[in-house]
Structures are given as C-alpha cells and as structure tokens.
Amino acid sequence: MHDPVTALVVTLFSSPGVALLMAGAILLFGIGLIVWSSISEYRPLQEELRERWNLISALRGGAARTAFYSQFSNLDIRFGGTANNASASAALVLGWSNYRSLLVDTGDNTYATSIRAAEAFDRLDEPARSLEWWANILVAIGLVVTFLGIVAALSEATAAMADTKGAGMEAALMGLLAIAATKFWTSIAGVLASIILRFVARLRRKRIQSLEATLFESLDACVQFMPPEKVMLEQLKSLKRLEIALSREAAA
C-alpha cells in the first residue's frame, strides 16, 4: 500500500510512454522559449540598437560633437524611450540615464564625459541571459522527472516482488529495469534542450555585442572623453603654471 504521494507518482510514471512524452515536452518547451525570446526580447532590442545607431551615425563627421550638442534634446527623448511611449528596452533606458548623467557642458558647444559608452550601458545581453537561465532550469526539470520515474519504478517493483516469488520476482525486476531506463530520456531531453538554448544564447550575445559596439563607437565620437586622471593632470598643470606666474610676480 503506497502513501498518497507515492501512489500519485506511480500512477503518473508507471507507463514507459509517459517519460517519452515528457521528454518531448521539455524539448518543445525549449524551442518555444527560443521563439518567444526572439519575438519579445531579441528582435525588439536589435531594432532599438539599429535605430539609435542611425540617429548617432547621422551626426558623424568633423562637426559631430557640435551637432550632438545642438540636437541633444531630441536625442535625449529618443534614447530615453519617451518617444516610443516608454516602450524601449529597460537596459537601454537605464544605460542612457547613466551616460547622460555624466555629460558635462564644456562651454564651447560640446559635451565631455568621464566614461566610455560601453561602461554606462550594461546588461544589454539580457535576451541571452534569460535563455541561459532557462537552460539551467530545463536540466533540473529533466533530472526531477527522471528521479520521480525511478521512484515509481522502484515502488512498482517492490510491490510486485512482495506478492510473487521466483519467476515472478525476475519478471518484476525486468519490468523495473525497462521502466527505469525510459525515465532517463527526460534527463537527456533536459540536457539537449540546455545545449540548444546555450548555443542560441551565445549566437545572440555575439550579435548584440556587434551591434552595441558600433553604437558605442559612434556615441563616443560625439563627445570629448575626459577621464578623471586626465582632469587631475590638467588641474596640476594649471596650478603649476599659476605657481610659476605668482613666483615671477613676487620676484619682480
């Protein structure tokens, strides 16, 4: 006599075909995740990166910095996502917020910043990260289903061997091995789905990195890069020149 939980597991997994159906379901779920991620995350992010690159690339040239300065209000609206009813990627909006917060007006119709664009925009590879997360989950699901199937097979074999002897026990043991073997298909399906998801995630991450590299290069060309070390060095030079001038005045 099984307890209710074990009885439910035995009922669900007593048939060898159940494990094969679940293995197929895991694979189909993995493929569905790829399609869903492509529609809801990956393609929209690609389009937004291309749109922003088109905006910045139109400013490139000898007067890119002054053009960026004069059109900053419009660019701020487009990069901030408000032009699309705030439907832009959260990572892009947050990255732009970080980047614009460090822009400094130099006083000659240009902006300066202390960081590169790549440092401000983070986690743009979220579509790849989500697939990698699901890859781990599918492996875990496959293992859980496999162990549940083994529990069902052992319970069935134990009950059969308790009621029979001799040839009956041998038949029960053979049934245990046959049913337990099929349960490993769910683990195989989980691992296979994980491999597929990680492969797709890697391809998408490389594509996103390629798109963001072109955007960041164009964006960096529109501002003057002034790292803190360079600012400090310029200040030291100014202080030294001031010290020399004061020394000359005192000597005179």
User: Residue 17 is encoded by which pair of tokens?
Assistant: 């075909």
3-state helix, strand, coil in the chain (%, to 5): 80, 5, 15
Q: Which residue has the tokens 């998408």?
A: 204
Task: Characterize 17-50 residue by residue with b for buried, 16 or more Cβ atoms within 10 angstroms of its Cβ, and e for exposed.
Answer: ebbeebbeebbeebeebbeebbeebbeebbebbe
List, for the chain, all residue ranges whose pLDDT scores fall below the cut of 70: 1-16, 60-62, 82-88, 156-157, 159-182, 227-246, 248-252
pLDDT digits (tens, 9 = 90+) for 202-238: 999 999 999 999 999 889 888 888 766 555 555 555 6
Question: pTM score, two decimals?
Answer: 0.76
pLDDT at 221: 87
Nearest to 133 by CA among 37, 22, 28, 42: 37
pLDDT at 226: 78
pLDDT at 145: 83
